[in-house]
C-alpha cells in the first residue's frame, strides 16, 4: 500500500512539474533557448496569486477567490515573462547561444532579488525575505480525502485536475487554432514560417505567454499544496521541470507532461528505496541521476524531441 500511496504522491508532484515544464518546452521548441528564468516566472505567478488574496478585503478563505487569484497570478506571470522576452532575450535573438543563456541566468537572479527586496516594501504586504504562508482556500485545501488506505491531499487532487484541464486546453490550442498551428510551424522551421506570412516575433511572445500562464497555475497549486511560498521556490522547481521537459523530449508538449509525471513518480518511488541511499533526502539526487541517464541512453527523450539539433 505504501507503493500506491507514493504513486499518488508522485503523480501529484509530477503534475506540478508538468505544468512548469510546458513553458520550457514551448520556448525551447521555437527559439532553442533554455529559459532559465522560467522557474522564477512560476514563483512570480504564486506571488501574484497571493497578492490578489491580500488585496481582496477581509481574511476570507472562500472558494470564490480562487479564480481571481488564478487570473491575477496569470496576468503577473505573463506580464513578467513578456517583459523579459522583450527586453532581455529579443535583442539577443541572433547572438551566439552562450549569450542568451547567460542573460537568462541574470534574469533569473534579478527576478528573485526583485521579489525578495521589493515585495515586502509595499505597505501591508508580508516580508518576502522569509517564507510567506499561503492562504488555504476552502474546499481545495483542508482535511485529506481517505480512499481506503491511501490519503489524498485536496491540493494534490486540485493540481492533478488543473493539469488535465490545462492539457486539454493545450491540445485544443496547439492543434485546432490558427495561432497554435502557426506555433507548430514556427518550431519546425522559423524561416519558412516567416515566408508563409507568420509573424514569428508574435509567435515567440505567444510561446512565452503560454508557458507563463501554465506556470502561474502551478504556482497557485504549489502554494495550496505546500502552504507557504518564498522567493527561492522557483530555482529547484524550475530545474526539475526542465529535467522533466528533457525527459519527455524537449520541444514536445505532450512529452513535457509525460516527462513531468514520470519524474514525479521517480521521486515518489525513490523515497521507497531501502537502505542508505533511499528516503526523501536522496530523492532530488535520483531525479538528476535520471536526467543524466536519459541524456546518455535516449537523448531525444521518452516521446522523442521535436527539435532538430541546429547547434
Partner 1 sequence: MKIPQVITPERQQRLDPTGRWVGIAGGVVLAASAFLPWAYSFAALDGMTLVGYPSPLQYCGMVLGLLVAGLIICSRLIKPRGKIRVGWVRGAKAAATGALVYIAIIILSIAVELGGLINVVYGGWLALLGAALAFAGTRLMIMDKPATLSHAQIGPTLEILLIAVVMGAALFATAFALNIDDGGTFVSFIAFLGAFVAVLFRVGAMGFLSGASQRHRKVLILAAFVVAFLFPFTQGGSDANMSIATQVIIFAAAAMGLNITVGLAGLLDLGYIAFLGAGAFTAAVLSRSAFATADIHPPFIVVVLIAGAVSATLGLIIGSPTLRVSGDYLAIVTLAFGEIFRITMINLDGEAGPNITHGSNGIPAIPDLALFGFDFGKPHVLLGIPLGRFSNYYFLLLVLIAFVILVFVRLNNSRIGRGWVAIREDEKAAEAMGVNVFGLKLFAFASGAFLAGVAGAVKAHQDISVTPDQFIFLESAFLLAAVVLGGMGTVLGVLVGATLLKLLPEKLRFVSDFRLMIFALLLIVMMRFRPEGMIPSQRRQLEFHEEDEELAERIEEEVEETGALKGAGVL
| Binding test (CB under 8 A) with partner 1, winner from 125, 173, 226, 235 | 235
Sign of the dihedral through C-alpha 140, 144, 147, 150:
positive
* Distance separating alpha carbons of residues 237 and 284, to the nearest angstrom: 11
CB of 12 to partner 1, least distance (A): 22
Restricting to residues 172-231, which ones interact with partner 1 according to CB under 8 A? Answer: none
Question: Which residues lie across from 133 on neighbouring strands?
Answer: 228
Is residue 110 a contact residue for partner 1 (CB under 8 A)?
yes
| Binding test (CB under 8 A) with partner 1, winner from 57, 98, 124, 197 | 98
Is residue 309 a contact residue for partner 1 (CB under 8 A)?
yes
- Whether the CB-CB separation of 25 and 305 falls below 8 Å is answered with no
Kindly calculate the radius of gyration of the chain based on its CA atoms and give it in whole angstroms: 19
Between 272 and 301, how does the x/- string for binding to partner 1 read (CB under 8 A)? ----xx-x-xx-xx--xx-xx--xx--x--
Q: What's the chain's length in residues?
A: 311
| Binding test (CB under 8 A) with partner 1, winner from 61, 75, 82, 92 | 92
* Distance separating alpha carbons of residues 68 and 100, to the nearest angstrom: 34
- Whether the CB-CB separation of 22 and 253 falls below 8 Å is answered with yes
How far CA 240 is from CA of 14, 126, 130, in Å, comes to 10, 28, 23
Closer Cβ to partner 1, 97 or 202, answer by number: 97
Bin 308: left if φ > 0, else alpha if -120 < ψ < 50, else beta.
beta
| Binding test (CB under 8 A) with partner 1, winner from 19, 34, 69, 204 | 34
Closer Cβ to partner 1, 1 or 311, answer by number: 311
Closer Cβ to partner 1, 67 or 91, answer by number: 91
| Binding test (CB under 8 A) with partner 1, winner from 26, 49, 207, 246 | 246
- Number of residues counted as binding partner 1 (CB under 8 A): 47
Closer Cβ to partner 1, 93 or 145, answer by number: 93
- Whether the CB-CB separation of 257 and 22 falls below 8 Å is answered with yes
* Distance separating alpha carbons of residues 186 and 200, to the nearest angstrom: 7
CB of 18 to partner 1, least distance (A): 17
How far CA 90 is from CA of 31, 33, 37, 188, 309, in Å, comes to 10, 11, 14, 19, 21
Is residue 101 a contact residue for partner 1 (CB under 8 A)?
yes
Is residue 304 a contact residue for partner 1 (CB under 8 A)?
no
How far CA 308 is from CA of 46, 190, 249, 304, in Å, comes to 34, 12, 11, 11
Is residue 102 a contact residue for partner 1 (CB under 8 A)?
yes
Closer Cβ to partner 1, 168 or 293, answer by number: 293
Q: What angle do CA 297, 301, 30 make, to 5 degrees?
A: 135
Closer Cβ to partner 1, 94 or 146, answer by number: 94
Closer Cβ to partner 1, 1 or 98, answer by number: 98
Residue with cell 530545474: 239
| Binding test (CB under 8 A) with partner 1, winner from 114, 125, 171, 173 | 114
| Binding test (CB under 8 A) with partner 1, winner from 107, 132, 137, 163 | 107
Q: In the complex, which residues of this chain contact partner 1 (CB under 8 A)? A: 28, 32, 34, 88, 91-92, 95-103, 105-110, 112-114, 117, 235-236, 239, 242-243, 246, 276-277, 279, 281-282, 284-285, 288-289, 291-292, 295-296, 299, 309, 311
Amino acid at each position: 500500500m505504501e507503493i500506491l500511496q507514493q504513486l499518488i504522491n508522485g503523480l501529484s508532484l509530477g503534475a506540478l512539474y508538468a505544468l512548469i515544464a510546458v513553458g520550457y518546452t514551448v520556448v525551447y521548441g521555437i527559439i532553442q533557448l533554455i529559459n532559465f528564468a522560467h522557474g522564477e516566472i512560476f514563483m512570480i505567478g504564486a506571488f501574484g496569486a497571493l497578492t490578489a488574496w491580500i488585496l481582496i478585503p477581509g481574511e476570507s478563505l472562500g472558494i470564490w477567490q480562487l479564480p481571481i487569484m488564478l487570473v491575477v497570478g496569470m496576468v503577473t506571470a505573463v506580464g513578467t515573462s513578456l517583459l523579459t522576452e522583450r527586453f532581455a532575450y529579443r535583442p539577443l535573438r541572433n547572438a551566439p547561444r552562450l549569450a542568451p543563456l547567460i542573460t537568462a541566468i541574470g534574469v533569473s537572479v534579478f527576478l528573485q532579488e526583485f521579489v525578495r527586496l521589493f515585495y515586502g516594501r509595499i505597505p501591508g504586504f508580508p516580508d518576502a525575505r522569509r517564507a510567506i504562508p499561503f492562504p488555504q482556500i476552502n474546499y481545495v485545501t483542508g482535511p485529506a480525502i481517505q480512499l481506503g488506505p491511501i490519503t489524498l491531499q485536496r491540493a494534490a487532487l486540485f493540481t492533478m485536475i488543473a493539469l488535465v484541464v490545462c492539457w486539454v486546453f493545450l491540445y485544443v490550442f496547439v492543434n485546432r487554432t490558427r495561432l497554435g498551428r502557426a506555433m507548430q510551424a514556427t518550431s519546425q522551421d522559423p524561416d519558412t514560417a516567416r515566408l508563409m506570412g507568420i509573424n514569428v516575433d508574435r509567435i515567440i511572445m505567444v510561446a512565452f505567454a503560454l508557458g507563463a500562464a501554465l506556470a502561474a497555475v502551478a504556482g497557485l497549486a504549489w502554494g495550496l499544496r505546500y502552504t507557504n511560498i518564498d522567493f527561492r521556490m522557483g530555482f529547484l522547481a524550475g530545474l526539475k521541470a526542465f529535467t522533466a521537459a528533457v525527459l519527455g523530449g524537449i520541444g514536445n508538449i505532450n512529452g513535457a507532461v509525460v516527462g513531468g509525471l514520470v519524474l514525479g513518480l521517480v521521486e515518489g518511488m525513490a523515497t521507497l528505496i531501502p537502505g542508505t541511499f533511499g528516503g526523501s533526502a536522496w530523492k532530488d539526487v535520483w531525479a538528476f541521476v535520471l536526467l543524466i541517464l536519459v541524456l546518455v541512453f535516449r537523448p531525444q527523450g521518452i516521446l522523442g524531441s521535436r527539435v532538430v539539433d541546429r547547434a
